[in-house]
């Protein structure tokens, strides 16, 4: 289920990405030294609480940061289907416009805000296609086919205005539109937040099927561990602007090695498990203008020791699985705690 | 005594055949139909359902903030009109409190936390004198774990985190020593890691202050956790389709809608969530309130519907054989009903 056979190609490679915002109180480092590889066909879930930097990463990857945000350093390298690599940070505005949609597209939270209320879905499709040199006939055929794939009534939706569609239909319309120009990477920011349970289910199912049929890669941003558990191949936990743990989904959920990941799991209620003992994480996330020294989580961590308070823990690889990396001094204790909890269930 | 006190068993709030209807562009919107509920002191009742199902409207009627169109609402066994006199009405208002979803919108940004808490205390004459007021504010902030209170009392809402603000909202509801709190999506805007702390605090307050809590949420896993010792009512298009003790409703759901909802919820456990048996619906889209389907409102989407039965008559909310909760589903109430479901 989560095993990647013979490591498929890397389509997006991010190294030491740092992004900051200029605020009245000074520079705020929203993303700090983030590195990861996204492989062909892989779904990477970035999970974390509000303000952890997950949305900023997504906006940075496609250079759509607000005017106060800048990429300070780091590399974003995208590999095209023909094998050529693209330095995303070096793209001119014109090149970026071609890069978006064709190579990398995005689906944002709140579908209504992403759809122009005064034009029909068909016009939006045609506009997008024209901007990238796809002819009208091909765009129409492709859109109708994609609408079918996302379980929409193709003709009805194609000729509809956004307000004529329900929330779930709009979100699926956006998903289909994002795939119009056959991008290799789709960025999704909380696509199932603020929708109803049954709508969320249909979006998840549609996304899973599309991925199997079209084999694109996804970076999926969510605060919802359950959705990540369901659709992700790889999970990266973010805290205070940093990826503090990353690995295959089963590794991160069943064998977490960072205290924050453990804390998130201990706070997540599960329906199919009878009475549960849950715990929340004390305190609140740190101020990113002046982040605490050492491990950024140490003020809220029940395992914290002196070295956590002074020296940031380096990213290390788990002995059992080299794809599992973590920045914590107490991996063994945390792993043991989780295993004991799972045994109790 | 002129007015004998109602029997001790009288529920805090009782809704009997309550309907709520709005008129919109010559359409009748039936927002609530035939709602029957009783909330007893110290009880937890959870209202769950998708948006538009009527859970918030029900919550507002329970809190006495909304007048219903038809039916009867009794507070401590008496209709609201029987509460005459300023004193009695104020007492009733005090008993019922609500905590809203958005702690950014429900606290006045121009007032300090101390001021926010002092207004209801003074308005309802809960304390007399500055010293007592200050002492009570300190007590309330301690009660909601905002300690030390001195750090919080002079702050403005924007200086607090979302979780802290929601604790202030709860403290404000507690100023008037209510018997019941309606918590409408009270933690859905709070970060995952902090939610459980607030829910545990509500549990503790319920025990210490003998509060009844009506908890409204769209998150079934959260409802299960919070209301494990209470009841859950599942609502669909303005009706309660299933109601009963939480472990039964979640562990052995009766109504097809409840079953579909529970099956659809992803779980924070990769193996569990990827092997969940789904219940495919016949239609993805929820009907409009202006055109609620006849018979059982769920029948156009229900995979178990029986043509000629479910679309013809209204299912009564009753306990089906083999269950402990009530469910409104006709096939379930027939002898062969259970076999159809494979339970």
Same structural domain for residues B237 and B126?
yes
DSSP H/E element including A334: helix A331-344
Q: Which residues contact B59 (CB under 8 A, 6 or more apart)?
A: B47, B98, B182, B184, B214, B216
Lowest mean pLDDT among A322-336, B78-92, B219-233: B78-92
* Closest C-alpha among A208, A231, A271 to residue B262: A271
Between CA B35 and CA B41, with CA B40 as vertex, the angle to 5 degrees is 145
CATH 3.40.50.300 domain residues, chain A: 10-232
Q: Which two tokens stand for residue A170?
A: 């709009």
Same structural domain for residues B269 and B217?
no
Q: What is the pLDDT of residue B3?
A: 46
Summarize the confidence of residues A13-17 as an average pLDDT: 97
The DSSP letter of residue B83 is: -
A265 contact residues in B (CB cutoff 8 A): 268
- Report the distance separating Cα B242 and Cα B261, nearest Å: 12
Q: What is the pLDDT of residue B343?
A: 44
Residue-range definition of the domain harbouring residue B31: 13-251
Inter-axis angle of helices A197-214 and B256-264, nearest 10: 50
Domain stops at, among B194, B217, B251: B251
The 10 Å CB-count burial string (b at 16+, else e) for A89-113 is: eebeeeeeeebbbbbbbbbbbbbee
Same structural domain for residues B170 and B136?
yes
- Report the distance separating Cα A244 and Cα A296, nearest Å: 10
Query: 3-state DSSP call for residue A156?
Result: helix
Nearest chain A residue (CA) to B260? A198
- Report the distance separating Cα A10 and Cα B152, nearest Å: 50
* Closest C-alpha among B48, B156, B42, B149 to residue B103: B156
Q: What is the pLDDT of residue A111?
A: 65
Domain stops at, among B230, B251, B272: B251
B19-67: pLDDT as tens digits: 999 988 888 899 999 999 999 999 999 999 998 899 999 999 999 999 9
B266-320: pLDDT as tens digits: 999 999 999 999 898 888 778 888 889 999 999 999 999 899 999 999 999 999 9
Same structural domain for residues B246 and B332?
no
Q: Give me the interface pTM, i.e. the ipTM.
A: 0.88
Q: How crowded is residue B154: how many other Cβ atoms within 10 Å of its Cβ?
A: 11
**Residues of B within an 8 Å Cβ radius of A:** 50-51, 161-164, 191-198, 200, 218, 220-222, 224-225, 228, 247, 250-251, 260-262, 264-274, 276, 278, 281, 284-286
Q: Which residues contact A336 (CB under 8 A, 6 or more apart)?
A: none
pLDDT of A286 > 70? The answer is yes
Same structural domain for residues B129 and B220?
yes
Average pLDDT over chain B, rounded to an integer: 91
pLDDT of A345 > 90? The answer is no
In a domain, B60, yes or no: yes
Q: What is the pLDDT of residue B336?
A: 67
Domain stops at, among B198, B221, B251: B251
Lowest mean pLDDT among A78-92, A193-207, B243-257, B263-277: A193-207
Q: What is the pLDDT of residue B4?
A: 45
Q: Which two tokens stand for residue B225?
A: 């956790």
pLDDT of A128 > 50? The answer is yes
Q: What is the pLDDT of residue A6?
A: 57
DSSP H/E element including B46: strand B44-48
- Report the distance separating Cα B280 and Cα B65, nearest Å: 38
Phi, psi angles (nearest 5°) of residue B310: -70, -30
Instruction: Say how many residues make up chain A.
Output: 345
Quick check: A264 and B50 CB within 8 A? no
User: Which of the four pLDDT bands, split at 50, 70 and 90, describes residue B339?
Assistant: low
Quick check: B193 and A201 CB within 8 A? no
Same structural domain for residues B65 and B161?
yes
pLDDT of A310 > 50? The answer is yes
Q: What is the pLDDT of residue A251?
A: 96
Task: Provide the CA A124 distance to its chain's centre, in angstroms.
Answer: 25
Same structural domain for residues B243 and B286?
no
Query: 3-state DSSP call for residue B23?
Result: strand
Q: What is the pLDDT of residue B5?
A: 46
B264 contact residues in A (CB cutoff 8 A): 197-198, 200-201
Of B261, B270, B272, the CB nearest to A272: B272
Summarize the confidence of residues B151-158 as an average pLDDT: 94
Summarize the confidence of residues A36-43 as an average pLDDT: 96
Same structural domain for residues B301 and B188?
no
Quick check: A226 and B266 CB within 8 A? yes
Same structural domain for residues B37 and B52?
yes
The string of DSSP codes covering B239-299 is EEEEEEEHHHHHHS--SHHHHHHHHHS--SSHHHHHTPPP---S-SSPPPGGGPPSSSTTT
Query: 3-state DSSP call for residue B234?
Result: strand
In a domain, B6, yes or no: no
- Report the distance separating Cα B305 and Cα B311, nearest Å: 8
Question: Is B244:B223 a contact under the CB 8 Å cutoff?
Answer: no
Quick check: B221 and A271 CB within 8 A? yes
Q: What is the count of structural domains for chain B? A: 2
Lowest mean pLDDT among A95-99, A198-202, A254-258, B258-262: A198-202
In a domain, B217, yes or no: yes
Quick check: A226 and B270 CB within 8 A? no
Of B200, B218, B224, the CB nearest to A269: B224
Question: Is A49:A223 a contact under the CB 8 Å cutoff?
Answer: yes
Distance between the two ends of chain A, CA-based, in angstroms? 23
Q: Where are the beta strands (DSSP E) in chain A?
A: 10-23, 26-39, 43-47, 69-79, 85-87, 104-107, 185-189, 217-222, 234-239, 242-248, 316-318, 321-326
A275 contact residues in B (CB cutoff 8 A): 228, 247
Query: 3-state DSSP call for residue B312?
Result: coil
Same structural domain for residues B235 and B264?
no
Structurally, what CATH architecture does the domain formed by A10-232 represent? 3-Layer(aba) Sandwich (3.40)
A254 contact residues in B (CB cutoff 8 A): 270
Lowest mean pLDDT among A27-36, A281-290, B235-244: A281-290
A187-223: pLDDT as tens digits: 999 888 778 888 899 889 999 999 999 999 999 999 9
- Report the distance separating Cα A249 and Cα B15, nearest Å: 47
Q: What is the pLDDT of residue B24?
A: 83
- Report the distance separating Cα A233 and Cα A1, nearest Å: 8
Query: 3-state DSSP call for residue A308?
Result: helix
Summarize the confidence of residues B102-110 as an average pLDDT: 91
Quick check: B250 and A271 CB within 8 A? yes
Same structural domain for residues B56 and B107?
yes
Per the DSSP assignment, residues forming a β-bridge with B99 are: B183
Q: Which two tokens stand for residue A296?
A: 């950024």
Pairing of strands A234-239, A85-87: unpaired
Instruction: Say how many residues make up chain B.
Output: 343
Query: 3-state DSSP call for residue B303?
Result: coil
Half-sphere exposure of A170 (CA within 13 A, CB side): 22
- The domain spanning residue B37 has which CATH number? 3.40.50.300
Same structural domain for residues B71 and B83?
yes
Lowest mean pLDDT among A4-13, A251-260, B100-109, B121-130: A4-13
């Amino acid at each position: 289920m989560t095993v990647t056979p013979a490591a498929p190609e890397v389509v997006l490679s991010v190294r030491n990405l740092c992004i900051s915002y200029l605020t009245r109180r000074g520079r705020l480092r929203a993303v700090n030294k983030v590195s990861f590889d996204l492989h062909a066909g892989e779904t990477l879930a970035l999970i974390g609480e509000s303000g952890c930097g997950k949305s900023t990463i997504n906006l940075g990857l496609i250079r759509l940061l607000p005017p106060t945000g800048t990429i300070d350093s780091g590399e974003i390298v995208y590999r095209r289907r023909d094998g050529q690599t693209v330095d995303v940070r070096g793209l001119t505005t014109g090149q970026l416009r071609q890069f978006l949609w064709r190579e990398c597209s995005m689906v944002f939270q709140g579908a209504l805000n992403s759809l122009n209320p005064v034009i029909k879905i068909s016009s939006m499709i045609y506009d997008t296609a024209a901007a990238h040199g796809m002819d009208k006939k091909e765009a129409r055929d492709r859109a109708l086919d994609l609408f079918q794939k996302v379980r929409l009534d193709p003709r009805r939706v194609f000729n509809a205005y956004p307000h004529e569609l329900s929330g779930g239909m709009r979100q699926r319309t956006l998903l289909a539109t994002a795939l119009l120009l056959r991008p290799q990477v789709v960025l999704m920011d909380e696509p199932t937040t603020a929708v109803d349970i049954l709508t969320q289910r249909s979006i998840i199912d549609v996304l899973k099927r599309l991925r199997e049929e079209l084999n694109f890669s996804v970076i999926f941003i969510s605060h919802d561990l359950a959705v990540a558990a369901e659709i992700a191949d790889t999970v990266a936990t973010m805290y205070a602007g940093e990826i503090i743990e990353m690995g295959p989904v089963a590794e991160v959920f069943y064998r977490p090695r960072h205290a924050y990941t453990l804390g998130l799991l201990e706070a997540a209620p599960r329906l199919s498990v009878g009475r549960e003992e849950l715990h929340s994480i004390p305190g609140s996330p740190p101020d990113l203008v002046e982040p605490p020294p050492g491990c950024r989580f140490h003020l809220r961590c029940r395992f914290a020791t002196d070295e956590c308070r002074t020296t940031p823990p380096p990213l290390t690889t788990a002995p059992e699985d080299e794809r599992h990396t973590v920045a914590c001094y107490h991996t063994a204790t945390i792993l043991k705690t989780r295993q004991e909890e799972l045994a109790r269930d | 005594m002129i007015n004998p006190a109602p029997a001790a068993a009288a529920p805090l709030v009782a809704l009997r055949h309550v309907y709520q209807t709005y008129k919109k562009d010559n359409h009748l919107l039936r927002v609530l139909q035939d709602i029957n509920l009783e909330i007893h002191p110290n009880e937890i009742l959870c209202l769950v359902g998708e948006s538009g199902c009527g859970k918030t409207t029900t919550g507002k009627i329970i809190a006495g903030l909304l007048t219903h169109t038809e039916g009867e609402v009794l507070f401590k066994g008496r209709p609201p009109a029987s509460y005459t006199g300023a004193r009695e009405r104020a007492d009733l208002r005090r008993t019922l409190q609500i905590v809203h979803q958005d702690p950014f919108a429900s606290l006045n940004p121009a007032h300090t936390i101390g001021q926010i808490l002092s207004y209801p205390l003074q308005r309802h004459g809960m304390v007399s004198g500055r010293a007592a007021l200050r002492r009570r504010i300190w007590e309330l902030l301690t009660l909601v774990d905002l300690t030390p209170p001195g750090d919080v009392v002079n702050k403005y809402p924007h200086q607090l985190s979302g979780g802290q603000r929601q604790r202030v909202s709860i403290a404000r509801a507690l100023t008037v020593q209510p018997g019941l709190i309606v918590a409408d999506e009270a933690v859905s805007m709070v970060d995952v890691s902090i939610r459980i702390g607030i829910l545990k605090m509500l549990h503790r307050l319920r025990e210490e202050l003998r509060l009844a809590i009506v908890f409204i949420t769209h998150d079934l896993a959260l409802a299960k956790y919070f209301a494990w010792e209470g009841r859950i009512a599942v609502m669909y298009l303005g009706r309660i389709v299933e109601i009963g003790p939480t472990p039964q409703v979640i562990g052995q759901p009766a109504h097809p809608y409840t079953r579909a909802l529970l099956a659809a919820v992803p779980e924070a456990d990769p193996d569990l969530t990827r092997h969940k048996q789904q219940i495919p619906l016949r239609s993805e889209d929820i009907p409009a309130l202006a055109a609620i389907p006849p018979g059982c409102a769920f029948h156009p989407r229900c995979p178990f519907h029986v043509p000629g039965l479910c679309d013809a008559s209204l299912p009564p909310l009753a306990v089906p054989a083999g269950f402990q909760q009530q469910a409104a589903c006709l096939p379930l109430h027939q002898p062969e009903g259970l076999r159809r479901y494979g339970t």
